[in-house]
Protein backbone atom coordinates (compact mmCIF):
# COMPACT_ATOMS: atom_id res chain seq x y z
CA UNK A 1 0.00 0.00 0.00
CA UNK A 2 1.27 3.47 -0.85
CA UNK A 3 2.26 5.68 2.06
CA UNK A 4 2.68 9.43 2.18
CA UNK A 5 6.47 8.98 2.30
CA UNK A 6 6.61 6.70 -0.73
CA UNK A 7 4.15 8.80 -2.72
CA UNK A 8 6.12 11.97 -2.05
CA UNK A 9 9.42 10.29 -2.93
CA UNK A 10 8.12 9.09 -6.30
CA UNK A 11 6.52 12.43 -7.11
CA UNK A 12 9.60 14.41 -6.10
CA UNK A 13 11.77 12.30 -8.39
CA UNK A 14 9.36 12.75 -11.29
CA UNK A 15 9.23 16.53 -10.85
CA UNK A 16 13.00 16.83 -10.47
CA UNK A 17 13.47 14.82 -13.66
CA UNK A 18 11.72 17.53 -15.70
CA UNK A 19 13.85 20.27 -14.15
CA UNK A 20 11.56 21.64 -11.44
CA UNK A 21 13.80 23.03 -8.71
CA UNK A 22 11.10 23.05 -6.03
CA UNK A 23 10.19 19.40 -6.63
CA UNK A 24 9.95 18.31 -2.98
CA UNK A 25 7.88 21.32 -1.91
CA UNK A 26 5.60 21.07 -4.93
CA UNK A 27 4.98 17.38 -4.34
CA UNK A 28 4.09 18.03 -0.71
CA UNK A 29 1.72 20.89 -1.53
CA UNK A 30 -0.05 18.92 -4.23
CA UNK A 31 -0.45 15.81 -2.10
CA UNK A 32 -1.77 17.90 0.78
CA UNK A 33 -4.26 19.46 -1.61
CA UNK A 34 -5.36 16.04 -2.89
CA UNK A 35 -5.80 14.79 0.69
CA UNK A 36 -7.46 18.04 1.86
CA UNK A 37 -4.91 18.31 4.66
CA UNK A 38 -2.46 21.02 5.77
CA UNK A 39 0.95 20.39 4.23
CA UNK A 40 2.52 20.25 7.69
CA UNK A 41 0.40 17.19 8.50
CA UNK A 42 2.22 15.18 5.87
CA UNK A 43 5.51 15.69 7.68
CA UNK A 44 3.95 14.35 10.87
CA UNK A 45 2.26 11.35 9.26
CA UNK A 46 4.76 9.87 6.77
CA UNK A 47 3.35 6.35 7.11
CA UNK A 48 -0.26 7.39 6.51
CA UNK A 49 -1.74 5.19 3.79
CA UNK A 50 -2.86 6.99 0.64
CA UNK A 51 -6.06 5.40 -0.64
CA UNK A 52 -6.59 4.56 -4.33
CA UNK A 53 -9.05 7.45 -4.71
CA UNK A 54 -6.57 9.84 -3.08
CA UNK A 55 -3.78 8.58 -5.33
CA UNK A 56 -5.95 9.24 -8.37
CA UNK A 57 -6.67 12.80 -7.26
CA UNK A 58 -2.97 13.33 -6.62
CA UNK A 59 -1.93 11.90 -9.99
CA UNK A 60 -4.18 14.37 -11.79
CA UNK A 61 -2.54 17.23 -9.94
CA UNK A 62 0.94 15.85 -10.46
CA UNK A 63 0.39 15.45 -14.20
CA UNK A 64 -0.56 19.10 -14.49
CA UNK A 65 2.60 20.14 -12.63
CA UNK A 66 4.71 17.92 -14.86
CA UNK A 67 3.33 19.98 -17.73
CA UNK A 68 4.72 23.03 -15.87
CA UNK A 69 1.43 24.44 -14.66
CA UNK A 70 2.19 26.35 -11.43
CA UNK A 71 1.16 24.80 -8.12
CA UNK A 72 -0.89 27.88 -7.26
CA UNK A 73 -2.97 27.45 -10.40
CA UNK A 74 -3.50 23.77 -9.77
CA UNK A 75 -4.68 24.54 -6.24
CA UNK A 76 -6.64 27.60 -7.40
CA UNK A 77 -5.16 29.74 -4.64
CA UNK A 78 -2.15 31.96 -3.99
CA UNK A 79 -1.07 33.53 -0.71
CA UNK A 80 -0.27 37.21 -1.17
CA UNK A 81 0.58 39.62 1.66
CA UNK A 82 -0.43 36.73 3.97
CA UNK A 83 -3.93 36.77 2.45
CA UNK A 84 -5.42 33.67 0.79
CA UNK A 85 -6.52 34.67 -2.70
CA UNK A 86 -8.40 32.63 -5.26
CA UNK A 87 -7.00 32.81 -8.78
CA UNK A 88 -8.26 31.47 -12.10
CA UNK A 89 -7.35 31.21 -15.75
CA UNK A 90 -8.71 34.77 -16.10
CA UNK A 91 -6.26 36.29 -13.62
CA UNK A 92 -2.55 36.85 -13.31
CA UNK A 93 -0.93 34.65 -10.68
CA UNK A 94 0.32 37.32 -8.21
CA UNK A 95 4.02 36.91 -7.44
CA UNK A 96 5.81 37.72 -4.17
CA UNK A 97 7.79 40.46 -5.95
CA UNK A 98 4.54 42.43 -6.32
CA UNK A 99 4.42 42.80 -2.54
CA UNK A 100 7.15 45.43 -3.07
CA UNK A 101 4.48 47.72 -4.51
CA UNK A 102 2.22 47.23 -1.49
CA UNK A 103 5.08 47.99 0.90
CA UNK A 104 6.08 51.08 -1.07
CA UNK A 105 2.57 52.50 -1.01
CA UNK A 106 2.14 51.82 2.70
CA UNK A 107 5.38 53.68 3.41
CA UNK A 108 4.76 56.66 1.11
CA UNK A 109 1.00 57.06 1.25
CA UNK A 110 0.14 56.38 4.91
CA UNK A 111 -3.48 57.56 4.90
CA UNK A 112 -5.09 57.15 1.45
CA UNK A 113 -8.80 57.85 1.36
CA UNK A 114 -9.74 56.65 -2.14
CA UNK A 115 -7.62 54.26 -4.18
CA UNK A 116 -7.90 53.05 -7.77
CA UNK A 117 -6.33 49.79 -8.98
CA UNK A 118 -5.93 49.54 -12.76
CA UNK A 119 -5.85 45.98 -14.12
CA UNK A 120 -6.83 44.50 -10.76
CA UNK A 121 -6.89 40.82 -11.76
CA UNK A 122 -7.50 38.78 -8.61
CA UNK A 123 -7.60 42.00 -6.58
CA UNK A 124 -4.31 41.12 -4.88
CA UNK A 125 -2.82 44.63 -4.68
CA UNK A 126 -5.89 46.59 -3.67
CA UNK A 127 -7.11 43.97 -1.18
CA UNK A 128 -3.70 43.83 0.47
CA UNK A 129 -3.72 47.61 0.87
CA UNK A 130 -7.29 47.68 2.12
CA UNK A 131 -6.43 45.05 4.73
CA UNK A 132 -3.80 47.45 6.12
CA UNK A 133 -5.74 50.71 5.78
CA UNK A 134 -9.23 50.39 7.29
CA UNK A 135 -10.10 54.02 6.47
CA UNK A 136 -9.56 53.49 2.74
CA UNK A 137 -12.21 52.80 0.11
CA UNK A 138 -11.16 51.51 -3.28
CA UNK A 139 -12.16 50.66 -6.81
CA UNK A 140 -10.51 47.89 -8.82
CA UNK A 141 -10.88 47.91 -12.61
CA UNK A 142 -10.28 45.15 -15.13
CA UNK A 143 -11.39 44.47 -18.69
CA UNK A 144 -11.93 40.78 -17.90
CA UNK A 145 -15.32 39.82 -16.46
CA UNK A 146 -13.79 36.54 -15.30
CA UNK A 147 -11.12 38.39 -13.34
CA UNK A 148 -13.73 40.68 -11.79
CA UNK A 149 -15.71 37.67 -10.56
CA UNK A 150 -12.60 36.32 -8.86
CA UNK A 151 -11.73 39.70 -7.33
CA UNK A 152 -15.23 40.17 -5.93
CA UNK A 153 -15.18 36.68 -4.42
CA UNK A 154 -11.80 37.42 -2.82
CA UNK A 155 -13.09 40.69 -1.34
CA UNK A 156 -16.11 38.89 0.07
CA UNK A 157 -14.00 36.09 1.53
CA UNK A 158 -11.68 38.59 3.23
CA UNK A 159 -14.49 40.74 4.61
CA UNK A 160 -13.48 43.71 2.46
CA UNK A 161 -16.40 43.87 0.03
CA UNK A 162 -17.92 46.79 1.92
CA UNK A 163 -14.92 49.02 1.15
CA UNK A 164 -13.51 47.59 -2.09
CA UNK A 165 -15.65 47.31 -5.18
CA UNK A 166 -14.79 46.17 -8.68
CA UNK A 167 -15.98 47.24 -12.12
CA UNK A 168 -15.11 46.85 -15.77
CA UNK A 169 -12.55 49.35 -17.00
CA UNK A 170 -8.87 50.22 -16.91
CA UNK A 171 -7.48 51.67 -20.11
CA UNK A 172 -8.04 51.54 -23.84
CA UNK A 173 -5.50 52.17 -26.57
CA UNK A 174 -5.60 55.92 -25.91
CA UNK A 175 -7.12 56.76 -22.52
CA UNK A 176 -8.16 55.64 -19.08
CA UNK A 177 -11.54 53.92 -18.90
CA UNK A 178 -13.07 54.74 -15.52
CA UNK A 179 -16.77 54.32 -14.66
CA UNK A 180 -18.77 57.53 -14.92
CA UNK A 181 -19.09 59.31 -11.60
CA UNK A 182 -16.05 57.61 -10.07
CA UNK A 183 -14.45 60.99 -9.37
CA UNK A 184 -10.79 61.42 -8.53
CA UNK A 185 -8.50 59.36 -6.34
CA UNK A 186 -5.61 60.18 -4.05
CA UNK A 187 -3.87 56.90 -4.88
CA UNK A 188 -3.63 55.03 -8.20
CA UNK A 189 -1.73 51.79 -8.44
CA UNK A 190 -1.22 49.28 -11.20
CA UNK A 191 0.70 46.19 -12.17
CA UNK A 192 0.06 46.53 -15.90
CA UNK A 193 1.27 44.20 -18.65
CA UNK A 194 4.91 45.16 -19.11
CA UNK A 195 6.57 42.39 -21.11
CA UNK A 196 7.59 43.42 -24.62
CA UNK A 197 5.67 41.42 -27.21
CA UNK A 198 8.83 39.91 -28.80
CA UNK A 199 9.92 38.61 -25.38
CA UNK A 200 6.75 36.63 -24.65
CA UNK A 201 8.00 33.55 -26.48
CA UNK A 202 11.03 33.28 -24.19
CA UNK A 203 9.16 33.29 -20.87
CA UNK A 204 9.37 30.42 -18.40
CA UNK A 205 6.75 27.72 -19.10
CA UNK A 206 4.90 28.53 -15.88
CA UNK A 207 4.33 32.13 -16.96
CA UNK A 208 2.59 30.88 -20.07
CA UNK A 209 -0.42 29.94 -17.94
CA UNK A 210 -1.08 33.63 -17.20
CA UNK A 211 -3.51 35.42 -19.53
CA UNK A 212 -1.64 37.00 -22.43
CA UNK A 213 -3.55 40.23 -21.87
CA UNK A 214 -1.96 40.44 -18.41
CA UNK A 215 1.55 40.07 -19.85
CA UNK A 216 1.77 41.78 -23.25
CA UNK A 217 2.90 45.38 -22.85
CA UNK A 218 3.25 46.12 -26.55
CA UNK A 219 6.36 46.34 -28.74
CA UNK A 220 8.60 47.75 -25.97
CA UNK A 221 6.57 46.78 -22.90
CA UNK A 222 5.69 50.39 -22.11
CA UNK A 223 2.37 50.85 -23.92
CA UNK A 224 0.13 50.69 -20.80
CA UNK A 225 2.29 53.21 -18.92
CA UNK A 226 2.05 55.68 -21.80
CA UNK A 227 -1.74 55.45 -21.87
CA UNK A 228 -2.24 55.61 -18.11
CA UNK A 229 0.19 58.46 -17.54
CA UNK A 230 -1.03 60.33 -20.60
CA UNK A 231 -4.50 60.56 -19.03
CA UNK A 232 -3.56 60.44 -15.35
CA UNK A 233 -4.82 63.94 -14.52
CA UNK A 234 -8.40 62.84 -15.11
CA UNK A 235 -8.32 60.35 -12.24
CA UNK A 236 -5.50 61.41 -9.88
CA UNK A 237 -6.35 64.31 -7.61
CA UNK A 238 -3.96 67.12 -6.55
CA UNK A 239 -1.34 65.74 -4.17
CA UNK A 240 -2.24 62.19 -5.19
CA UNK A 241 0.32 59.45 -5.67
CA UNK A 242 0.70 56.85 -8.40
CA UNK A 243 2.59 53.56 -7.99
CA UNK A 244 3.46 51.10 -10.76
CA UNK A 245 5.09 47.71 -10.84
CA UNK A 246 7.68 47.64 -13.63
CA UNK A 247 9.95 45.25 -15.48
CA UNK A 248 13.55 44.96 -14.36
CA UNK A 249 14.98 47.39 -16.93
CA UNK A 250 12.06 49.81 -17.18
CA UNK A 251 12.76 52.12 -14.24
CA UNK A 252 14.35 55.00 -16.20
CA UNK A 253 11.76 54.87 -18.99
CA UNK A 254 8.73 54.81 -16.68
CA UNK A 255 10.26 57.55 -14.53
CA UNK A 256 10.68 59.66 -17.66
CA UNK A 257 7.04 59.07 -18.61
CA UNK A 258 6.07 60.28 -15.14
CA UNK A 259 8.06 63.48 -15.71
CA UNK A 260 6.40 64.02 -19.07
CA UNK A 261 3.03 63.68 -17.31
CA UNK A 262 4.00 66.53 -14.95
CA UNK A 263 4.48 64.33 -11.88
CA UNK A 264 7.08 64.98 -9.22
CA UNK A 265 8.78 63.17 -6.32
CA UNK A 266 9.58 60.31 -8.68
CA UNK A 267 11.28 57.27 -7.16
CA UNK A 268 12.45 53.96 -8.63
CA UNK A 269 12.42 51.33 -5.87
CA UNK A 270 14.00 47.86 -5.72
CA UNK A 271 12.50 44.57 -4.63
CA UNK A 272 14.13 42.34 -2.02
CA UNK A 273 16.50 41.02 -4.68
CA UNK A 274 17.79 44.52 -5.41
CA UNK A 275 16.12 44.71 -8.84
CA UNK A 276 14.09 47.73 -9.94
CA UNK A 277 10.46 46.83 -9.28
CA UNK A 278 8.33 49.90 -8.50
CA UNK A 279 8.03 53.49 -9.71
CA UNK A 280 6.13 55.98 -7.58
CA UNK A 281 5.35 59.65 -8.26
CA UNK A 282 3.13 62.44 -6.99
CA UNK A 283 0.86 64.98 -8.64
CA UNK A 284 2.16 68.10 -6.87
CA UNK A 285 1.16 71.72 -7.21
CA UNK A 286 -1.97 71.15 -9.22
CA UNK A 287 -5.18 72.77 -8.20
Q: 10-26, pLDDT tens digit by residue?
A: 999 999 999 999 999 99
Residue span of the structural domain in which 147 resides: 90-282
Beta strands across the sheet bearing 185-190: 164-168, 137-142, 114-118, 185-190, 236-245, 276-282, 264-270
* Statement to judge: residues 126 and 244 lie in one domain: yes
Average pLDDT over all residues of the chain: 94
Tell me the pLDDT band of 285, cut-offs 50, 70 and 90.
low
Residue 115 has what pLDDT? 97
* Statement to judge: residues 131 and 172 lie in one domain: yes
Q: Is residue 85 part of a domain?
A: no
Q: Is residue 79 part of a domain?
A: no
* Statement to judge: residues 97 and 210 lie in one domain: yes
* Statement to judge: residues 17 and 118 lie in one domain: no
Q: Which of 229, 219, 224 is nearest to 199 (CA)?
A: 219
Q: Is residue 154 part of a domain?
A: yes
Is pLDDT above 60 for 287?
no
* Statement to judge: residues 173 and 216 lie in one domain: yes
Cα angle 92, 88, 26 (rounded to 5 degrees) comes to 85
* Statement to judge: residues 148 and 198 lie in one domain: yes
Q: Residue 209, Cβ neighbours under 10 Å: how many?
A: 17
Residue 180 has what pLDDT? 87
* Statement to judge: residues 169 and 270 lie in one domain: yes
Amino acid sequence: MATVRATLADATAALAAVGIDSAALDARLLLADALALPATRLLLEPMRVVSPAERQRFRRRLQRRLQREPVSRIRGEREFWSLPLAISAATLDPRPDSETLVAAVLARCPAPRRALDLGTGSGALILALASERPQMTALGLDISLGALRVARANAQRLGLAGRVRFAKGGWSDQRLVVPRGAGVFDLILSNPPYIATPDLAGLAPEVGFDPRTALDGGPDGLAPYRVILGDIGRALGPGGRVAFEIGLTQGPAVADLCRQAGLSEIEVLPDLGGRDRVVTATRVGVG
